[in-house]
Amino acid sequence: QVQLQESGPGLVKPSETLSLTCAVSGFSVSINYYWGWIRQPPGKGLEWVGSVHHSGNTYYNPSLKSRLTISLDTSKNHFSLKLSFVTAADTAVYYCVRHSDSTGTTAFDIWGQGTMVTVSS
Amino acid sequence: EIVLTQSPATLSLSPGDRATLSCRASQSVRSFLAWYQQKPGQAPRLLIYDASNRATGIPARFSGSGSGTDFTLTISSLEPEDFAVYYCQQRSSWPPLTFGGGTKVEIK
C-alpha cells in the first residue's frame, strides 16, 4: 500500500524559507511517476505547487517558480519542497501527491494527509 | 494557463437525488480531466481520471463524461457520505496543472 507522509515546521516567519519533506512508503520514488505538492489556503480551493519526475526533472507553477525548489532523494525514498521569501499568502495546508501522465491512473492518485503551514511572525 | 470553471458553486440536494456537476475548460483539454472529492479536514480523493475512468474502489454511482471543453460528473443517487466538495483538474497542458474552483454538494 502506497503511503505519503508530510513533515516540517507548522510555523514559518515572513521572508524565511518554508521546508517540507514527503516520506514515501510502499513504493519507490525511482519508478516512472511524478511526485508533487499541492496546497490549499484555509477555506479555499486547490493549487498545484510543483512536481519532480522520477528522472529528476522539475515542473513548477509559474506563479511560484522564482521562489520554489522541489527535489528528490532516492536514497531516502522521499522528496522535498523549499519555498523562499514566504508571506501570509503562503499559509495553507500542503499536500504531497503522486501522479502520472502515462502509467496507470493518470491523475493525483495518492495523497498525503496534509500539513498545515502558517506564515506569521 | 488553462482555466477550469465549475458550476454551480453549490448544489443543494437530498439523499437519493441525482447530482450533475459541470466543469468547463478555457480551451480543449481533450479527455485529460479528473474529478476529486474532498470532505472537511481530509485530503482530496481521486474519483475519475481521463474524463470517464473510475479510480480504484470508487462506487459505480459516480460517473464522468465529456471531452474537449465541457465535462460532467454525475452521482446517480446521492448517499449521505457523498455530501462534500468536488474539484475538476486538467493535465492536458502543463505546467501549470490546474483545478477548478470546486462545487459544494450540500444537504437540502
pLDDT tens-digit profile of B20-44? Answer: 999 999 999 999 999 999 999 999 9
Residue whose C-alpha is closest to residue B40's, from A42, A27, A103, A54: A42
Rounded mean pLDDT, A17-29: 97
If you measure CA to CA, which chain B residue comes closest to A112?
A: B43
Q: Is B3 on the interface with A (CB under 8 A)?
A: no
Q: Give the per-residue pLDDT at A21.
A: 98
Q: Is B6 on the interface with A (CB under 8 A)?
A: no
The mean pLDDT value of chain A amounts to 96
Comparing CB atoms, the residue among B49, B95, B100 nearest residue A107 is B49
Cα B2 to Cα B95: distance, rounded to the nearest angstrom: 10
Q: Is B37 on the interface with A (CB under 8 A)?
A: no
One-letter amino acid for residue B6 of the chain: Q
A79 within 8 A of A73, measured Cβ to Cβ: yes
Confidence label for A35 from pLDDT (cuts 50, 70 and 90): very high
Rounded mean pLDDT, B69-82: 98
Burial pattern B63-76, b for ≥16 Cβ within 10 A else e, equals: bbebeebebbbebe
Confidence label for A101 from pLDDT (cuts 50, 70 and 90): confident
Task: Give the lowest-confidence range in A4-13, A24-33, A61-70.
Answer: A24-33
Q: Does residue A107 surpass a pLDDT of 80?
A: yes
Comparing CB atoms, the residue among B55, B87, B94 nearest residue A109 is B55
All residues of chain B having their beta carbon less than 8 Å from the beta carbon of residue A51 are 97
Q: Is B50 on the interface with A (CB under 8 A)?
A: yes
A29 within 8 A of A98, measured Cβ to Cβ: no
State percent of chain A over pLDDT 70: 100
B19 within 8 A of B74, measured Cβ to Cβ: yes
Rounded mean pLDDT, A56-71: 97
Q: Does residue A103 surpass a pLDDT of 80?
A: no
Comparing CB atoms, the residue among A45, A105, A107 nearest residue B101 is A45
Backbone angles phi, psi at B57, to 5 degrees: 85, 0
Q: Give the per-residue pLDDT at A56.
A: 92
Rounded mean pLDDT, B74-82: 98
Question: Does the beta-carbon distance from A61 to B43 stay under 8 Å?
Answer: no
Size of interface A-B (CB pairs under 8 A): 63
Residue count of chain A: 121
Instruction: Say if residue B96 is preceded by a cis peptide, omega within 30 of 0.
Output: yes
Torsion of Cα atoms, A65 then A92 then A77 then A71, to 10°: 10
Cell output for B56: 480504484
State percent of chain B over pLDDT 70: 100
Cα A99 to Cα A111: distance, rounded to the nearest angstrom: 9
Mutation target vs A (from B97, B98, B99, B104; most A CBs, 10 A cutoff): B97
CB atoms within 10 A of CB B2: 18
Is the pLDDT higher at B33 or at A31? B33
